[in-house]
Structure 1
Amino acid sequence: MCCPSATLAVWSSAWLSGAAASDDVLDALQVWGEAHEVVAHDDATAEVFDVPVAGDVPATPARLLGALRRLGSTDSRLVLPVAGDVRGLGAGGPFASAALGAGEALVFADLGYGVVPRHLAEGLWRWTVFTVAAHPISGTPAPEYVPLGEAEHGLTEAVRESAGALQALDVAGDRPGVRAELSARLRATPRQDWPRGMPGRALRVLQRAEEVGAILDLARADEPGGAVSASAAARRAQALRPLDEAVRRARCAAVNEAVRLLARTSETF
């Protein structure tokens, strides 16, 4: 089910387009935790979004939704940055650092702001709104647009190539019960509901990325039959890197395509 930023991206877009109620957005976020709060990183951002700065009594996600509608946001993009791939995060600064630390963020490219979730405690998430530092020449970056078909094809190819590499390295060996582990992991993942109008192909790609992501988690684990030496672990990480990148790319492409199509529905009203 990807990540909290993906949930907020899709559901807030559905709300802004009139395809969902604000309560639907709040209910969807509860898959991740019972309580969500919103703060701003600095005073200027707090004034724009009408939410308190960090350290004051936080606002609710409903306040964030109201600000997005008031500001006219129509272009939210999911980013899943990792070290070495910080595309879409702007010219560094607090937002980029927070997003990289969280491994996820939601960028409102049309507004020049971004929001990063942080898991504070069991059942509690904090969303912090940041200004996205603009490049002095290119301006505020819009995260890379990846066609859904291209991302889906890339995921399929990465699965094939990584499977061959891992087999050659024999790092998955004869690990017993791996299919049962995978099934259990997928069953334990909370089920995310999506709004009416969620594009079928985007949903299919997202679900496929989740399945491959679960396989990645198992492949990384140092269980019996897995790589245990430092050199074998390094080779395994190298073999899995393209697959990890393909999963992140597919997740972003699926979510951002859903956001794009949901935003278009508002143009028909």
Structure 2
Amino acid sequence: MTSPSLTLILWAGAWLGGHASPDDVIDALHTWAPTHVLCAADDDVARSAGLPERGVVDGAATLLTTVRTVDTVRAAGLRLVLAAPGDARGLPAGTAFAAAAMDARQGILVGVPGAPGAGLVPVVEGPDVLRWTVFTVDPIPDPGAVPSLGEAEFAIREAVRDAAATLAGIPTVGSGTDIGDPRSRIASAAAELARHRYPSSLPVRAARVLDSADQVEAILTVAAGGGAERAGSASGTSGREEALRALSSALRVARSGAVAAALHGH
């Protein structure tokens, strides 16, 4: 998995649905960091979520308690948000949560569309600490169109094909830097993503979509790190960046669709 938000929403959904224990969720979160702390962004959410108005609370267990307190409709009230510059889909415009989620490129909405709820955003505070901030979100926005698993799979295939066609048509020149075999680097990046486990209750097709997204993410990670070749012109560089942005966008849509299908039965 590529983000703590994705880990939390899948495992918390399994827990709220009766398919995992709290310890299972905590173990999955600890793969990201051994220490998790939780804080409230404002007094209103502190009161509604049972958090202190100042300071932080230690422990992933408190994070689960907060999710259960706010999510009165069990797993159906959880929604993954994956943001990026120029892509604010699913974010409640003009909110502190939206700004934080955009900076972190991830977050979770907790609550029913149209009603008051909360948003959670994780931020790495060091090699051993992950801080989760809880925000008031009033109201929870409508999710809009959510792709089915079939649509998500198709979107990944199409995005990979289009990106490959675009990149193949861009002339390249040597960068003068040898940073190793790209296949080995891709395999290493994919192995890092694969160390995060899925709940056993996750539908097979949803897991397949997420696995496919992770494989493509590994390729994007290596591509973003540069290599022995680069585009031979400014227009080629722009075209390369646009192709990779489109592929990243398709991955965000596919992951959101897979999570929605797993939690809500879409």
> Deviation string for 1:62-83 (max 9, x for gaps)?
2232233344143211111112
Q: Shift of residue 49 of structure 1?
A: 0.6
Q: What is aligned with 1:102? A: 104
Q: Does 1:141 align with 2:145?
A: no
Q: In the TM superposition, what are the counterparts of 1:254-265 in structure 2 within 5 Å?
A: 254-261=258-265
Matched positions, count? 257
Q: Does 1:129 align with 2:129?
A: no
- CA–CA distance in structure 2, aligned partners of residues 37 and 70 of structure 1: 17
Is 1:154–1:246's contact at 8 Å kept on the other side of the alignment?
yes
SS in 2 for 1:234: helix
Q: What is aligned with 1:177? A: 181
Q: Between 182-191 and 76-85, report the one with greater CA deviation.
A: 182-191
- CA–CA distance in structure 2, aligned partners of residues 232 and 64 of structure 1: 46
In structure 2, do the counterparts of structure 1 residues 172 and 228 end up closer, same or farther at CA, with 3 Å as the change threshold? Answer: closer
- CA–CA distance in structure 2, aligned partners of residues 57 and 203 of structure 1: 34
In structure 2, do the counterparts of structure 1 residues 219 and 131 end up closer, same or farther at CA, with 3 Å as the change threshold? Answer: same
Q: Shift of residue 59 of structure 1?
A: 4.1
> Deviation string for 1:101-149 (max 9, x for gaps)?
0000011141521100010111210111111243xxxx63336422111
Letter in 2 for 1:56: G
Q: Shift of residue 190 of structure 1?
A: 5.3
TM (norm. structure 1) is: 0.87
Q: Shift of residue 171 of structure 1?
A: 4.2
Q: Shift of residue 235 of structure 1?
A: 2.0
Q: What is aligned with 1:267? A: none
Which one of 218, 224, 231 corresponds to residue 227 of structure 1? 231
Q: What is aligned with 1:212? A: 216
In structure 2, do the counterparts of structure 1 residues 70 and 188 end up closer, same or farther at CA, with 3 Å as the change threshold? Answer: closer
User: Unpaired runs of 5+ in structure 2?
Assistant: none
Q: Between 64-73 and 13-22, report the one with greater CA deviation.
A: 64-73
SS in 2 for 1:86: coil
Is 1:92–1:133's contact at 8 Å kept on the other side of the alignment?
no
Q: What is aligned with 2:163? A: 162
Q: What is aligned with 1:26? A: 26
- CA–CA distance in structure 2, aligned partners of residues 223 and 58 of structure 1: 43
Q: Between 83-92 and 15-24, report the one with greater CA deviation.
A: 83-92
Is 1:219–1:226's contact at 8 Å kept on the other side of the alignment?
no
Q: What is aligned with 2:117? A: 112
Identity of aligned residues (%): 39
- CA–CA distance in structure 2, aligned partners of residues 101 and 85 of structure 1: 12
- CA–CA distance in structure 2, aligned partners of residues 221 and 59 of structure 1: 35
Is 1:50–1:63's contact at 8 Å kept on the other side of the alignment?
no
Q: What is aligned with 2:82? A: 80
User: Unpaired runs of 5+ in structure 1?
Assistant: 265-269
- CA–CA distance in structure 2, aligned partners of residues 188 and 93 of structure 1: 33
SS in 2 for 1:183: helix
Q: Between 220-229 and 146-155, report the one with greater CA deviation.
A: 220-229
In structure 2, do the counterparts of structure 1 residues 213 and 172 end up closer, same or farther at CA, with 3 Å as the change threshold? Answer: farther
